[in-house]
Chain A
């Protein structure tokens, strides 16, 4: 019963701090701005728009990074959980799930109007949605990992971006690559990267939380 209660608490916190609307509005804003930047050429937009949405999804996953671990660390919540014999890995897993809930599904929802804004065809939209379903858990894992590593540092928000973006390159390659890939190989690679990150993150973030205890 510990894990569901932890997930519920973290999801509720994300919800109260604008969780659902923030990634949704962010993705739609990017999709709305992109045609202003590259011009209203429908062919160009539909060819590049899917990749642009992947970058937007990646950046959206980094939006709440400074709120994932640091506030709980500063407020002593992580200490109190450890005191009750709840492993830092369990806490990290709960935060991973809660972080995904607060931005993965909203992003997938926002991808529909965004695809319309960028003139993506049905096939590309389908691939984008499948790719986001496979890839957003990995983005959540990456965000949490960085949040745990940078908790307690000053200006951790900027540092988080610098740390996360290089690590997200495989996700971006396979995610954007899956948009016009008919063989399904890109999806498999995307799923593999995703599984790897999700498997590592609870342990790595748990260790980071433990190491940051002073």
Chain B
């Protein structure tokens, strides 16, 4: 995990013909994290997707060294399978042992629900299931879009422990949230400072 790296240089993001963000530079090395802040619509989610490589950058380059795990608003777990089996599919895709799933479910407090179909999970449990998918992936770079949405305080504490553990093992976290995250020592990036000011693209 130790040569993991995430570097954004001069990133600009264009959505729907509108320049959302420009001039974003960010370098994260093992053990480092950053928290994207800003009101709704400032491009937090776009920047996360762009960093994941799911959107093309309008300008600038993204360097990713190491595998990436993403948690956004999409659950990406088969609704009619049990939680354990749905996560098992991704474990197969990630080529990680089944024990990684058990560990991740344990860390986020979902061990008891492994045999429950995904469609029966509540909003907060779904969010935690997503986090379990990220944690089980074994990827060094975590991209978390609003990871604390819908979590109660006990679950938020488990999320904090999960993120601390990941950073301690030399992982990288880039999170986006409009609320405070239990993420100590993270670089704070306020995206409203990167809005293009009255300038045409």
A→B interface (CB under 8 Å): 1-2, 5, 9, 13, 16, 74-77, 79-84, 86, 213-214
Given A1-B95, A80-B93, A81-B93, 7 more pairs with CB closer than 8 A = A5-B93, A75-B78, A77-B76, A79-B70, A79-B76, A213-B55, A214-B55
B92 lies within 8 A of A84 (CB): no
A79 lies within 8 A of B92 (CB): no
For B65-103 the 0/1 string (1 means CB < 8 A from A) is 001111011111111100000000110111100000000
* Interface CB pairs A-B, < 8 A, 30: A1-B92, A2-B93, A5-B92, A5-B93, A9-B89, A13-B78, A13-B80, A16-B80, A74-B74, A75-B74, A75-B76, A75-B77, A75-B78, A76-B73, A76-B75, A79-B52, A79-B54, A79-B76, A80-B90, A80-B93, A81-B93, A82-B53, A82-B54, A83-B69, A84-B67, A84-B93, A86-B93, A213-B54, A213-B55, A214-B55
Q: Hey, which chain B residues are within 8 Å of A1, CB to CB?
A: 92, 95
Nearest CB in chain B: distance from A72 CB, A = 9
B94 lies within 8 A of A75 (CB): no
Nearest to B69 among chain A residues (CB) is: A83
B→A interface (CB under 8 Å): 52-55, 67-70, 72-80, 89-90, 92-95
How many angstroms between the C-alpha atoms of A189 and B44 in the bound complex? 53
A80 lies within 8 A of B92 (CB): no
Q: Hey, which chain B residues are within 8 Å of A81, CB to CB?
A: 93
Nearest CB in chain A: distance from B35 CB, A = 21
Nearest to B90 among chain A residues (CB) is: A80
Nearest to A76 among chain B residues (CB) is: B74
Q: Hey, which chain B residues are within 8 Å of A13, CB to CB?
A: 78, 80
Q: Hey, which chain A residues are within 8 Å of B70, CB to CB?
A: 79-80, 83
Nearest CB in chain A: distance from B117 CB, A = 11
Q: Hey, which chain A residues are within 8 Å of B95, CB to CB?
A: 1
How many angstroms between the C-alpha atoms of A213 and B94 in the bound complex? 22
How many angstroms between the C-alpha atoms of A47 and B89 in the bound complex? 49
Nearest to B118 among chain A residues (CB) is: A75
Q: Hey, which chain B residues are within 8 Å of A84, CB to CB?
A: 67, 93-94
CB < 8 Å neighbour of B54 from A5, A9, A75, A83: A83
Query: Which one of B73, B80, B93 has the highest number of Cβ atoms from chain A below 10 Å of its Cβ?
Result: B93
Q: Hey, which chain A residues are within 8 Å of B69, CB to CB?
A: 83
How many angstroms between the C-alpha atoms of A80 and B80 in the bound complex? 18
Q: Hey, which chain A residues are within 8 Å of B75, CB to CB?
A: 75-76
Q: Hey, which chain B residues are within 8 Å of A86, CB to CB?
A: 93
Nearest CB in chain A: distance from B104 CB, A = 15
Q: Hey, which chain B residues are within 8 Å of A214, CB to CB?
A: 55
Nearest CB in chain A: distance from B94 CB, A = 7
Q: Hey, which chain B residues are within 8 Å of A79, CB to CB?
A: 52, 54, 70, 72, 74, 76
B52 lies within 8 A of A83 (CB): yes
How many angstroms between the C-alpha atoms of A116 and B77 in the bound complex? 44
How many angstroms between the C-alpha atoms of A45 and B33 in the bound complex? 72
Nearest CB in chain B: distance from A201 CB, A = 22
How many angstroms between the C-alpha atoms of A77 and B133 in the bound complex? 12
How many angstroms between the C-alpha atoms of A77 and B118 in the bound complex? 14
Q: Hey, which chain B residues are within 8 Å of A9, CB to CB?
A: 78, 89
CB < 8 Å neighbour of B76 from A2, A5, A76, A213: A76
How many angstroms between the C-alpha atoms of A13 and B93 in the bound complex? 17
Q: A75-B74, A76-B76 are in contact. Are A83 and B53 (CB under 8 A)?
A: yes
How many angstroms between the C-alpha atoms of A122 and B198 in the bound complex? 76
Nearest to B15 among chain A residues (CB) is: A214
In order of increasing CB-CB distance, the 7 nearest A-B pairs are: A76-B74, A76-B76, A80-B76, A5-B92, A77-B76, A83-B70, A79-B54
Nearest to A72 among chain B residues (CB) is: B76
How many angstroms between the C-alpha atoms of A1 and B67 in the bound complex? 18
Nearest to A213 among chain B residues (CB) is: B54
How many angstroms between the C-alpha atoms of A2 and B95 in the bound complex? 9
